[in-house]
Structure 1
């Protein structure tokens, strides 16, 4: 089934004249039009917060971000769609050390951000899973799922780190430049911009490591 493309009114609002082409991966709802990537907004409060943060973040030699794009009249969202600049690169699961280095640099760059208010409003399965992992919610699952989760629950250890917003899924949401170039692009599950799944780190515990994430 072909996903719904961005409407003509949305393309016009962002000043795009090229025909959009659907991008592979993710949920299949992300489109590229020339050097701009468009995708449907999933959670407006989070989209607006992310756009403001990424627009203000200084450039870095250690990571790249897909800058959000405003409409011609200055809005981040139009008719349920958002846009960002295209960033070149390819996924490479063999370069996790590079991903971790870029993630560390990125987290350092956003360490002073206050806790996003939208974190308390999200109720998607990933957010609920985060809260269970950090012992903010009890585990509620069928017996089979509880058996699968038990080893992870036992592996939790205390974490003594300052609480801050972090990238929620670094390993699967980055693209890299060719080897020899250390720039890493942080992208989300729709391959367009920095992951829209932020969570707090350093709260109380995590699964099988002594660092938040």
Structure 2
């Protein structure tokens, strides 16, 4: 699944197991504070493995509960998921944490782009039957805000360092009329691969967008962070998909903008990676 960065299992004075997870949370799932807890790279570097259970903090209890419940009801076809686990009290969230079964595989799309897109198609075919939850239109966290900005539903406070690139993308932006559904908006690093194993989808990030937008985000991530002809060759050459790519670029640029504006200004060092993708879009859409 995700590689452990360190190990710990000793209960500290503040009720944490190895300073990683509250002992009361482990107890809610029937685990002992003496069980070893290991941090994982996934889940925003906040996930913790204890035995065959992976714990992850829930930033929004309503959203986390809905995600766990929805995943538990999926009929899988050609992919795996990390099965959600209820607590001993029958809840999906306890003290701000969720739990899922550990699942084998390695995250990382490089070398798996075709398989990743195929998994996206299978996953979203099944998600197309899921009704949109009310909270999707009410979220105010930065990922939700930059998603709306990419679709021109809200205005973002662009920084001087990012606004010139945003303007180029908005000049390419045209309206789209596509059906929306529940999608996983961050699949690139959240599908696990392994020899002899079906791909596994983890860390569900729900949005209400066209299914193909999830693929556009995958391919934009490839252009931004990996590059190469292998990515470009997978891009559908249609005006509709080009518009989805523009929105995907704005989504990722907006996320970088908000991270720099509110958390980590040093992340603006990543801006040059956008120039290659923006250049490709400009050249291929005019």
- TM-score strictly above 0.5: yes
1:167 partnered with 2:197 = no
| Separation in 1, partners of 2:23, 2:124 | 37
**Cross-structure match for 1:7:** 22
* Alpha-carbon contact 2:130-2:182 (below 8 Å) kept: yes
Pair 99,130 (structure 1): closer, same or farther in 2 beyond 3 Å: same
* Alpha-carbon contact 2:81-2:201 (below 8 Å) kept: yes
**Cross-structure match for 2:240:** 210
Tell me how far 1:57 sits from its aligned partner: 0.7
SS across alignment from 1:83: strand
Deviations 1:10-43 (A, max 9, x none): 1111012432111135533211011100011111
* Alpha-carbon contact 2:43-2:56 (below 8 Å) kept: no
1:140 to 157, 164, 185: 157
| Separation in 2, partners of 1:102, 1:27 | 22
Deviations 1:94-144 (A, max 9, x none): 211111100110000010222221112211221111001111112432343
Structure that is richer in strand per residue: 1
1:51 partnered with 2:86 = no
Give structure 1 regions of 4+ aligned residues with deviation exceeding 6 angstroms.
205-209
Question: Rg larger in 1 or in 2?
Answer: 2
What are the ranges of 5 or more consecutive residues in structure 2 without an aligned counterpart? Answer: 1-5, 7-17, 221-238, 249-286
Deviations 1:145-179 (A, max 9, x none): 2102123223334433211010111112111122x
What are the ranges of 5 or more consecutive residues in structure 1 without an aligned counterpart? Answer: 189-194
| Separation in 1, partners of 2:152, 2:26 | 43
1:68 partnered with 2:103 = no
Q: CA RMSD in A?
A: 2.5
Pair 66,26 (structure 1): closer, same or farther in 2 beyond 3 Å: closer
* Alpha-carbon contact 1:160-1:202 (below 8 Å) kept: no
How many residues were matched structurally?
A: 201
| Separation in 2, partners of 1:53, 1:110 | 9
Pair 8,128 (structure 1): closer, same or farther in 2 beyond 3 Å: same
TM-score by length of 2: 0.64
| Separation in 2, partners of 1:200, 1:147 | 28
1:112 partnered with 2:104 = no
Greater relative contact order (Cα < 8 A, sep 6+): 1
Tell me how far 1:182 sits from its aligned partner: 6.2
* Alpha-carbon contact 2:183-2:210 (below 8 Å) kept: no
| Separation in 2, partners of 1:35, 1:89 | 14
